[in-house]
Amino acid sequence: MLTAVDHVQLAAPPDSEDRLRAYYTDVLGMTEIPKPPVLAARGGCWFAAGPVQLHLGVEEDFRPARKAHPGLRVTDIEAYASRLRERGAKVVWDDDLPGHRRFYSEDPVGNRLEFLERHRPEPAALEPCA
């Protein structure tokens, strides 16, 4: 049985680690976490914020996905969007998901990222009839 998503893997071109570190730590506010030595030899870098982990792995013929992306829940989405804009990241708002505020951005190698915050409470669970 599935219980949770452990991490999301994104691809990146060779020699992009410094740009990725700057974006994921300085712009998004994540912390770089060490890769096991055998995996570190392959390049790339891993980041975490609370239970959320994003792994960036080197792909020789890298091309960013146009549609695929992680959806990252945030709190105070307006302030988070301002943080990204102030640090030079593009913020594109999208109002097509009912019950949520969300925007898209891209990391420095073109990976699409979705940031969202629920703005309506979850519907209450229905109680069984007696």
For the record, the structure tokens of 8 come out as 């999301």
> What is the per-residue pLDDT for 119?
86
Residue type, 17: E
Compute CA distances 99 → 54, 82, 85, whole Å. 25, 21, 24
Query: E-assigned strands of the chain?
Result: 8-12, 31-33, 45-49, 52-58, 71-73, 92-94, 100-106, 112-118
User: pLDDT tens across 40-51, in order?
Assistant: 999 999 999 999
Query: How many whole angstroms separate alpha carbon 63 and alpha carbon 41?
Result: 22
pTM for the complete prediction?
A: 0.87
The CATH topology of domain 8-60+67-118 is 2,3-Dihydroxybiphenyl 1,2-Dioxygenase; domain 1 (3.10.180)
Quick check: 84 and 91 in contact, CB under 8 A? yes
> What is the per-residue pLDDT for 3?
85
> What is the per-residue pLDDT for 2?
85
